[in-house]
Each structure stands twice: as C-alpha cells, then as structure tokens.
Amino acid sequence: MTDGGSGAQPIRVLVVEDDPVAADAHVMYVGRVPGFVAVGKAHTGAEARRALERTPVDLLLLDLHLPDVHGLKLARSLRAGGHHADVIAVTSARDLAVVREGVSLGVVQYVLKPFTFATLRDRLVRYAEFRAAVGEVGGQDEVDRAIATLRAPSPAALPKGLSAPTLQRVTDALRESEEGLTAAGVAGAVGISRITARRYLEHLVDAGRAVRSPLYGQVGRPELVYRWVRESGGDRWGVTAPP
C-alpha cells in the first residue's frame, strides 16, 4: 500500500461490473483512495478471466450479477484455477445465504447497492489495514483485532432530531418520484412539516443519495426540487460525485 512516499506497491484492483456507467464510476472511486490503483475493468466473467491472465491483481471489486456467470461461481472457478485475489462483492442482493457462501470464496467485504463513495472508501481502507497486519500474532486478542479491521463500524448516528423510520419514509417517497419532489411535496407525502422534510432531504443530499436543483418558472425565489440519484438503466446504484 502506498504510504506517503514509502515506496510500497499500491493494491491492484480489477473492477468487474456489467454496467459501463457503474464500472467507470468504480474505477474513478478506487483511484481516489490512497494506496489503491484500478488496473482494469471487465464487464463479464470471461473478460475478468482474461484480464487476470494478463495483469497481476490483488483485489476484485466484483458485481455478483454478471451477464454470463454469477459472481460467486466466478470466484469459485478462479480459486480452482489458482487465482488468489481477494474479493469485495458489490451487489444489490440481500440474501444471507449468498453472504455465507461468499466467505469461503475469499469475499472479504460486501458493499450493498446503492452506496456512496464514502462507503466504498471505508471498505477499501479497512481491507488495506487488514493486509498490512502481516507476521505472527502474540495471542488471541491480536487475531481478533486483525479480523475486526475488516468489519464495518456501526452505522453512524443520524443528526440530532432525525429518526431512521422517518428517513426511510422520505427516502421511499423520493425514490418513487421520477420527476423529483420539493420539500412541500415530501411533507405532504410523508405527513411531516415542510421544514422537517427539508432537513431530511438535505441529509440525503449530504450523503450523496439525492441531488437538488432550483425549480424556475414561478414568481419569487425558485423552489428546490430534490431527486433520488439513479443509475442509467435502473435504480441499482447511485453514481454520485465523490466528496
């Protein structure tokens, strides 16, 4: 891992994602995390295999739903073929059976879609810390600490005054609207005040889950319209500008 000019080699990442927009965003995100470099991208399992034959790779950023093979089946075949790159699975699947199966195949982290740059950055940094913990350990506590570096922290507390159930209702209302909603529109849909709706909407903007733009064509100050960040081809992954 690159460490302030220490000369260590960066962690080489192959992005495997069928959607071109998401693949380009993944490559961009990886490149923004110190100590990591995206060495290529593949849109199918077959392309991933060919890339691994050409280029040394330390980590796969692997979408599980590829057009020609399931990601876990690809990981299993790569292990059988002598490829030992670790895997961070990028998926919208929430089946715990899939998670359990992935553990035995070198899946060290899962990132659920949609996600923000900050979420992926956290997973990559934790993976780098785990890789850096080399050598023999002195006891069980050191083993536990090394493994714990891979575990994501508890979800960050919401800003004071915001609640998770209301945030979910605001999120649902926004995602269901193709044209976007104003704070007044969200307030009416959810049953909260306009001021409260704006607080939740601004929180989603800060988290990279929503964008806002002014609504012109009316008298007076333009009102803001909030839209859920969507990927082309479906609401699978939020392509957002990194913070």
**DSSP 8-state code for residue 101:** H
Parallel/antiparallel/unpaired status of strands 210-215 and 223-228? antiparallel
Of 48-57, 73-82, 128-137, give the range with the top mean pLDDT. 48-57
Tens digits of residue pLDDT in 215-226: 876 666 678 999
Length of the chain: 243
Question: Is the model more confident about 216 or about 81?
Answer: 81
Tens digits of residue pLDDT in 104-156: 676 888 888 777 788 888 889 888 888 876 555 455 555 555 556 556 554 55
- Closest to 166 in 3D by CA, of 137, 198, 141: 198
Band (45; pLDDT cuts 50, 70, 90): very high
Band (80; pLDDT cuts 50, 70, 90): confident
* pLDDT confidence of residue 35: 94
Tens digits of residue pLDDT in 155-172: 555 778 888 889 889 988
- Ordered alpha helix ranges (H), 44-193: 45-54, 71-80, 96-103, 117-132, 140-148, 164-176, 183-190
